[in-house]
Amino acid sequence: MPGKLTDLETPCLILDEERMMRNITRLRTRLDALGVPLRPHLKTAKSVEVAKYMLNEVNNFATVSTIKEAEVFAEAGIKDIIYAVGIAPHKLPRIAALRQKGVDIAVILDNMEQAIAVTQFAKNSGDRIPVLIEIDCDGHRSGIAADDAETLIAIGRLITAGGAELRGVLTHAGKSYLSRNKAELEMYAEQERAGAVKAAGILRGAGLPCRVVSVGSSPTAHFAKNLDGVTEVRAGVFVFFDLVMAGIGVCDVDDIALSVLATVIGHQKDKGWILVDAGWMAMSRDRGTAKQAIDMGYGLVCDVNGKPYTDIIVTDANQEHGIIAVRPDSNAALPHLEVGSLVRILPNHACATGAQHDHYNVINKQQHIAAKWPRFSGW
Residues of this chain that bind a second copy (CB under 8 A): 9-12, 43, 65-66, 85-91, 109-111, 113-114, 117, 136, 139, 141-142, 174, 263-268, 271, 275, 277, 280-282, 284-287, 318-321, 323, 338-340, 349, 351-352, 355-358, 377-379
- Buried b / exposed e along 21-41 (16+ C-beta atoms within 10 A): eebbeebbebbeeeebebbbb
Nearer to a second copy, 46 or 227 (CB): 46
Minimum CB distance to a second copy, residue 286 (Å): 4
Q: What is the spatial distance between Cα 85 and Cα 63, in angstroms, rounded to a whole number?
A: 10
Nearer to a second copy, 36 or 314 (CB): 314
Minimum CB distance to a second copy, residue 94 (Å): 8
Distances (CA, A) of 68 to 51, 71, 106, 109, 379: 15, 5, 14, 19, 5
Polymer length in residues for the chain: 379
Q: What is the spatial distance between Cα 281 and Cα 314, in angstroms, rounded to a whole number?
A: 13
Nearer to a second copy, 43 or 99 (CB): 43
Minimum CB distance to a second copy, residue 250 (Å): 18
Nearer to a second copy, 208 or 237 (CB): 237
Q: What is the spatial distance between Cα 77 and Cα 289, in angstroms, rounded to a whole number?
A: 36
Minimum CB distance to a second copy, residue 84 (Å): 9
Q: What is the spatial distance between Cα 102 and Cα 43, in angstroms, rounded to a whole number?
A: 22
Nearer to a second copy, 36 or 156 (CB): 156
Q: Are 303 and 372 within 8 A, CB to CB?
A: no
Minimum CB distance to a second copy, residue 204 (Å): 24
Residue 90 DSSP label: G
Q: Are 164 and 155 within 8 A, CB to CB?
A: no
Q: What is the spatial distance between Cα 263 and Cα 295, in angstroms, rounded to a whole number?
A: 23
Q: Are 251 and 241 within 8 A, CB to CB?
A: yes
Q: What is the spatial distance between Cα 278 and Cα 92, in angstroms, rounded to a whole number?
A: 39
Minimum CB distance to a second copy, residue 265 (Å): 4
Are β-strands 308-317 and 322-326 bridged in parallel, bridged antiparallel, or unpaired? antiparallel
Minimum CB distance to a second copy, residue 15 (Å): 16
Nearer to a second copy, 88 or 183 (CB): 88
Question: Using omega within 30 degrees of 0 as the cis cutoff, is the peptide bond preceding 2 cis?
Answer: no
Nearer to a second copy, 36 or 369 (CB): 369
Helix (H), strand (E) at residue 117: helix 112-125
Taking Cα atoms as reference points, which of 109, 108, 206 lies closest to residue 149? 206
Nearer to a second copy, 34 or 116 (CB): 116
Nearer to a second copy, 36 or 241 (CB): 241
